[in-house]
Amino acid sequence: MAEKKVTKIGVLTSGGDAPGMNAAIRAVVRTGIYNGMEVYGILRGYSGMIDGDIFKMESKSVANIIQRGGTILKTARCKEFFTYEGREKAYSNLKKLGINGLVIIGGDGSFRGAQIFSNEFDIPCIGLPGTIDKDIAGTDFTIGFDTAVNTAVEAIDKVRDTADAHDRLFIIEVMGRDSGYIALHSGIATGAENILIPERRTDIEDIINALAEKQGRKKLVNIIVVAEGEEFGATELSKIMTERMPEQEIRVCILGHIQRGGAPTCFDRLIASRMGYAAVECLMEGRFNVFVGIVNNRMHYIPLDEAVKKKQKIGEDWMKIVKILSS
C-alpha cells in the first residue's frame, strides 16, 4: 500500500527525444486527471525543474499530440542536475507547487538522476523508458525504438535501389551511441550483407574476405549497416576499405537525426500509452522509484537503480541469422 498519497504529479521528458514521448505525456496527464490528481508539465527536462518552468496541465493540453514526434515539453541534457545545488533548486520549485510525485520519460542517464533525486528529497519517481536506442535492460522495448527502426528501414531500402543500379557497396550509419539494436533490426529487415555494432568487435579482414568471396560469385551489391557507436564508424570504415579494395566503389550514407523525428508508429503510441497509464498507477499504489517496462507483452516494474546498471546483450544467434540470410 501507499507510504504516502501522491496528489500532484510533475511530468518531464529528458535526454534525447524519441517518437512516442508525446503519447506518453498524454497518457500520464489524462490518467492522472482521471484519478483526481493535478498534473504539471515541466519544460526542458531537469533544466526546467531547476529554472521553475513548470505549468499546470489540463486534459486539453495534450489534445492532438499522440501522432506527433518530438516532445511538447521539450527536452534537454542537464549538467546542473548532476550537482546537489541544482537538485536542491529543483526540489524547492516542486515544493512551492506541492508536487509530490514525478514521471520521468527518458533514458538510463535520466533515471540515474531520478534515483539520486528521490533518495535525497523523498519525492517518488517513476521512469518511462524513452529512447530510440533500446539500451535499457528490463524491458523488451523502449518508446521510440520502433519508429526509429522503421525510419531507418525506409531509408536503407531507398539506398539499396541506387546501390543496386550502380553495383555499389554502401556503408550506412544508423544511430546508437552504445547500442547496436537499431543497426541489428534495420539491418536484418533490409537484408544487409553485414551489420556492425558496438557490442561486438569488428573484424575488417573478415569483412574484406566476405566481400571478395561475394565478388567472386558476382554478388556486387552490398549494404553494410553500422551503428554509430561501433569502433570505426562509417566514415573511417570506408577509408580503410577503400585503401584495401581500391577497385570497389564505396559510398557512405549517415542517416543521423531523421531517425529521431517523425510520427510515432502505432506500436510506439501503444506502448507509450500503456506505460504512461502504468506510471500513474504506480504512483497511486505506492510502487515508487521504479521504471515501467514491458516484457512478453506484460507490464514490469524495475527498480530505477537496476535500470542504470544493466545494458542489453546481443546474443550470438542474431549474428548467425545475419550471416546466413545475407549470403
87 vs 208: CA distance, rounded Å:
51
Cα separations in angstroms, 154 against 98, 157, 164, 202, 254? 46, 5, 16, 25, 14
Among the residue ranges 64-72, 149-157, 171-179, 185-193, the one whose residues contact ligand F6P (CB under 6 A): 171-179
User: Is the CB of 112 or the CB of 260 nearer to ligand F6P?
Assistant: 260
Pick one of 79, 177, 244, 309: the residue that binds ligand F6P (CB under 6 A).
177
User: Is the CB of 254 or the CB of 263 nearer to ligand F6P?
Assistant: 254
Pick one of 94, 128, 175, 279: the residue that binds ligand F6P (CB under 6 A).
175
Is 280 labeled as ligand-binding?
A: no
Is 127 labeled as ligand-binding?
A: no
Angle between helices 84-97 and 108-121 (to 10 degrees): 70
Pick one of 10, 16, 20, 113: the residue that binds ligand F6P (CB under 6 A).
16
Query: Which of 299, 289, 312 minimizes the C-alpha distance to 27?
Result: 299
Residue 54 main-chain phi, psi, to 5 deg: -130, 135
Pick one of 93, 100, 131, 147: the residue that binds ligand F6P (CB under 6 A).
131
CB of 315 to ligand F6P, least distance (A): 21
176 scored as a contact of ligand F6P (CB under 6 A): yes
Among the residue ranges 86-94, 129-137, 197-205, 310-318, the one whose residues contact ligand F6P (CB under 6 A): 129-137
CA dihedral 198→305→2→105, nearest 10 degrees, is -40
Say if CB 139 and CB 300 are below 8 A apart: yes
253 vs 260: CA distance, rounded Å:
16
User: Is the CB of 91 or the CB of 146 nearer to ligand F6P?
Assistant: 146
Query: Which of 183, 77, 172, 171 minimizes the C-alpha distance to 134?
Result: 183
Among the residue ranges 93-101, 128-136, 186-194, 244-252, the one whose residues contact ligand F6P (CB under 6 A): 128-136
The footprint of ligand F6P on residues 132-151 (CB under 6 A) is 132-133
165 vs 80: CA distance, rounded Å:
51
Among the residue ranges 169-177, 206-214, 217-225, 285-293, the one whose residues contact ligand F6P (CB under 6 A): 169-177
How many residues form the binding site for ligand F6P (CB under 6 A)? 10
Among the residue ranges 4-12, 30-38, 78-86, 174-182, the one whose residues contact ligand F6P (CB under 6 A): 174-182
Which DSSP symbol is given to 3? S
260 scored as a contact of ligand F6P (CB under 6 A): yes
Burial class of residue 255, CB neighbours in 10 A (0-12, 13-18, 19+): buried
User: Is the CB of 179 or the CB of 222 nearer to ligand F6P?
Assistant: 179
Q: Output the nine-digit C-alpha cell for 199.
A: 557490442
299 vs 23: CA distance, rounded Å:
17
Is 146 labeled as ligand-binding?
A: no
Q: For residue 311, how far is the Cα from the chain centroid?
A: 13
Specify the 3-state DSSP secondary structure of 15. Answer: coil
Residue 128 main-chain phi, psi, to 5 deg: -120, 125
Q: Which residues are catalytic?
A: 133
Pick one of 146, 193, 228, 230: the residue that binds ligand F6P (CB under 6 A).
228
Residue 227 main-chain phi, psi, to 5 deg: -75, 145
Q: Summarize the annotated binding site for Mg(2+) as residue ranges.
A: 108
Q: Which residues are annotated as a binding site for ATP?
A: 16, 77-78, 107-110
Please state the residue numbers annotated as binding site. Answer: 16, 26-30, 77-78, 107-110, 131-133, 160, 168, 175-177, 191-193, 217, 219-221, 228, 251, 257-260
Interface residues toward ligand F6P, by CB under 6 A: 16, 107, 131-133, 175-177, 228, 260
